[in-house]
Copies of this chain bind each other. A is one copy, B any other.
């Protein structure tokens, strides 16, 4: 459903939100460790997320990744769009370049419901809410030690 890169991205963004709740910026290395992802690769992913304005970054000592007011309406869907593109949400799920109501593929009308569910899953909770759930222990971003 999500690429491995996108799974890392989702976890990274939630972790950044969690730390930003406490006003902390976090480095790529720390993020990688907290979400069980290779840190150099995590850094690459974060570059994309910064470019797409899903999170913010600051260089130098005391620098790191963070979110502020300007990111408050971003959702997991924006993360997925930034990393995996729109293939989960748009286009023919069987790869037809001509697929429409008039010329539907066998899954055309069914995929609509699935996509609507996916959309809901990725937009119904704010990233802040998701971060709070991790913060209070009701969900986790990695296996517990």
Q: Point out residues on A near B: beta carbons under 8 Å.
A: 1-2, 4, 7, 10-11, 14, 36, 87-88, 93-99, 103-108, 110-111, 113-114, 117-118, 120-121, 124, 130, 133-134, 138-144
Contacts of A96 in B (CB 8 A): 36, 140-143
Contact A104 B144 (CB under 8 A): no
Contact B113 A121 (CB under 8 A): yes
Contact sample, A vs B, 18 pairs, CB 8 Å cutoff: A4-B95, A7-B93, A10-B106, A36-B96, A96-B140, A96-B142, A98-B143, A98-B144, A103-B140, A103-B143, A103-B144, A106-B130, A106-B134, A110-B120, A110-B121, A110-B124, A113-B121, A114-B118
Contacts of A121 in B (CB 8 A): 107, 110-111, 113-114
Q: How far is the CA of A105 from the CA of B142 in the complex (A)?
A: 8
Contacts of A104 in B (CB 8 A): 138-140
Q: How far is the CA of A119 from the CA of B97 in the complex (A)?
A: 25
Min CB distance A128 to B, Å, is 12
Extra contacts, 13 of them, besides A1-B88, A2-B94, A110-B121 (Cβ < 8 A), are A7-B93, A11-B94, A96-B140, A96-B142, A96-B143, A98-B144, A104-B138, A105-B141, A106-B139, A110-B120, A110-B124, A111-B121, A114-B117
Contacts of A105 in B (CB 8 A): 139-141
Q: How far is the CA of A114 from the CA of B87 in the complex (A)?
A: 16
